[in-house]
């Protein structure tokens, strides 16, 4: 008996995708529930599993564009599965021997190429590690079951780099030409659309991180013992953003045609950069969650990012986005809106700088903050007031703890 391997529906409005990698080889014995392939769409990457046990026969190769419902392989069970190897045996001895040396020669080339492609991976891991406390921004845990988000993204990048080797590319030794993935095409379209449809303006400020760093130093160990996760920087910024959204609700809006929609909920997106591109998982009802809840949610996304399990539901419905370029060492940037949201906060590298405190020059750990907003619906006064509220929340974290 033969079972078809079809591309299932993976989300609303998703009509096609690309096979980024087969996780099993043609002719492998498959158990029901085994992951067969990774499908990359313009929204997420997802694994397709086997509905039956048997022998896998691949019809569509890695890198192929496929539509929802398309048959990309079959799983042969029973007599059909056992017949296939029996038919293949007579031809194998005659052709296999000459082919073996060629394959043996090709193998070392692949082995030599692998380290060259793998070299960027360690730098990705090491670059954000000690530059500033920025990596902790999205690090809910380091030595607990929930790994740090930056570490998980690095691991995801490694696996995705390996996956990308299966996607056909043309090279003339001077350049390499490769088709954009569905996700990268979607990102490109979204960013251009945001630039063309919104009147984007950016306002800047800076925050003294001393108080947050002191608080984390004082309570971090007890926090980890009690909750099993690290107290990162990102939870402070999420809390500060929620507090600012409540104080300046004009930021928590979206424009649909000629209608301005006021949001009365606080689902906050946290932008994450991966090898495949930018994804923005959303923390639901952030206003009702504690610091430990937020860190635990971030830890959950860390696991999903590591395992490539982020879904369309994880990425939809946010009202505001936080992007942390400081993880990569960025000192200042102007983030682009995440439509249909009307504002986005950019965090940056923490850097010691001289500032004036009570008439005296002092060295403090400072972070530049950038708020990009849609000037069609948000006035400058509201944007500046919002960013000042975020700054106050970070510089006086006790306000966030007591909700004032």
Which of 31-35, 171-175, 355-359 shows the lowest per-residue confidence on average (mean pLDDT)?
171-175
Of 231 and 108, more confident: 231
Per the prediction, the chain carries an average pLDDT of 79
Residue 102 has pLDDT above 70, yes or no: no
Which domains occur in the chain, in start order?
A: 2-88 (2.40.50.100), 184-402 (3.30.559.10)
Residue 26 has pLDDT above 50, yes or no: yes
Who contacts 49 (Cβ-Cβ below 8 Å, separation ≥6)? Answer: 33, 34, 35, 36
Q: Which of 34, 267, 287, 375 is catalytic?
A: 375
Q: Does the pLDDT of residue 222 top 70, yes or no?
A: yes
Q: Is the pLDDT of residue 156 over 60?
A: no
Instruction: Pick the more confident residue, 160 or 364.
Output: 364
Strands 169-171 and 200-208: unpaired
Structure confidence at residue 269 (pLDDT)? 95
Q: Who has greater pLDDT, 80 or 3?
A: 3
Percent of the chain scoring above 70 in pLDDT: 74
Whether 375 is a known active-site residue: answer yes
Judged by phi (left if over 0) then psi (alpha if -120 to 50, else beta), residue 183 lies in alpha
pLDDT on residue 216: 94
Q: Global pTM?
A: 0.63
pLDDT in tens, 124-137: 333 333 333 333 33
Residue, of 183 and 12, whose pLDDT is higher: 183
Asked if residue 340 has a cis previous peptide bond (ω within 30° of 0), the answer is yes
Higher pLDDT, residue 268 or 163? 268
Catalytic residue (choose from 222, 285, 307, 379): 379
pLDDT-derived band of residue 192, with 50, 70 and 90 as boundaries? confident
Mean pLDDT score, 347-362: 96
Residue 235's φ and ψ, nearest 5 degrees, are: -65, -35
Most confident of 46-60, 149-163, 320-334: 320-334
What pLDDT sits at residue 11? 66
Q: Which two tokens stand for residue 68?
A: 């929802």
For the cut 90, the answer to whether the pLDDT of residue 179 exceeds it is: no
Comparing CA positions, the residue from 62, 3, 8, 71 lying closest to residue 32 is: 3
Average pLDDT value for residue range 262-285? 86
Average pLDDT over residues 17-29: 88
3-21 pLDDT, tens per residue? Answer: 899 888 876 667 788 887 8
List the beta bridge partners of residue 330.
none
Least confident range of 186-190, 196-200, 208-212, 314-318:
186-190
- Verify whether residue 379 is a known catalytic residue: yes
Q: Give pLDDT, residue 127.
A: 37
Amino acid 196: pLDDT? 84
Distance CA 400, CA 339 (A): 28
Task: Give burial (CB, 10 Å; 0-12/13-18/19+) of 89.
Answer: exposed
CA distance 258 to 255: 7
User: Residue 275's pLDDT band (boundaries 50, 70, 90)?
Assistant: low
pLDDT exceeds 70 at position 169? no
């Amino acid at each position: 008996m033969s079972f078809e391997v079809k591309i299932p529906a993976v989300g609303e409005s998703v009509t096609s995708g690309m096979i980024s990698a087969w996780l099993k080889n043609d002719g492998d014995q498959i158990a029901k529930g085994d992951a067969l392939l990774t499908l990359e769409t313009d929204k997420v990457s997802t694994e397709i599993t086997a509905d039956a046990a048997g022998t896998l026969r691949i019809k569509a190769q890695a890198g192929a564009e496929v539509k929802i419902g398309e048959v990309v392989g079959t799983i042969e069970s029973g007599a059909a599965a056992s017949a296939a190897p029996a038919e293949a045996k007579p031809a194998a001895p005659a052709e296999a021997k000459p082919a073996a040396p060629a394959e043996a020669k090709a193998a070392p080339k692949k082995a030599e190429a692998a380290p060259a492609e793998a070299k960027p991976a360690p730098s990705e891991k090491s670059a954000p590690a000690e530059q500033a406390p920025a990596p902790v921004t999205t690090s809910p845990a380091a030595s607990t079951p929930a790994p740090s988000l930056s570490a998980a993204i690095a691991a995801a990048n490694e696996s995705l780099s390996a996956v990308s080797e299966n996607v056909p590319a043309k090279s003339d030794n001077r350049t390499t030409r490769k088709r954009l993935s569905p996700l990268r095409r979607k990102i490109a379209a979204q960013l251009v659309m945001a630039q063309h449809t919104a009147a984007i303006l950016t306002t800047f400020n800076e925050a003294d991180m001393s108080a947050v760093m002191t608080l984390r130093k004082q309570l971090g160990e007890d926090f980890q013992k009690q909750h099993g996760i690290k107290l990162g920087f990102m939870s402070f910024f999420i809390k500060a953003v929620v507090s600012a959204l409540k104080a300046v609700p004009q930021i928590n809006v979206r424009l649909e045609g000629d209608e301005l929609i006021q949001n009365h909920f606080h689902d906050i997106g946290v932008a994450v950069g991966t090898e495949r591109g930018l994804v923005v998982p959303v923390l639901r009802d952030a206003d009702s969650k504690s610091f430990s809840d937020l860190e635990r949610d971030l830890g959950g996304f860390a696991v999903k990012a590591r395992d490539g399990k982020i879904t369309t539901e994880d990425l939809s419905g946010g009202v505001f986005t936080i992007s942390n370029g400081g993880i990569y060492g960025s000192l200042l940037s102007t983030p682009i809106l995440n439509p249909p949201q009307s504002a986005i906060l950019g965090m940056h590298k923490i850097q010691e700088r001289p500032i004036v405190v009570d008439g005296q020059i002092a060295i403090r750990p400072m972070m530049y903050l950038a708020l990009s907003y849609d000037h069609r619906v948000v006035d400058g006064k509201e944007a500046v007031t919002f960013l000042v509220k975020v700054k106050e929340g970070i510089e006086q974290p006790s306000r966030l703890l007591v909700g004032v």
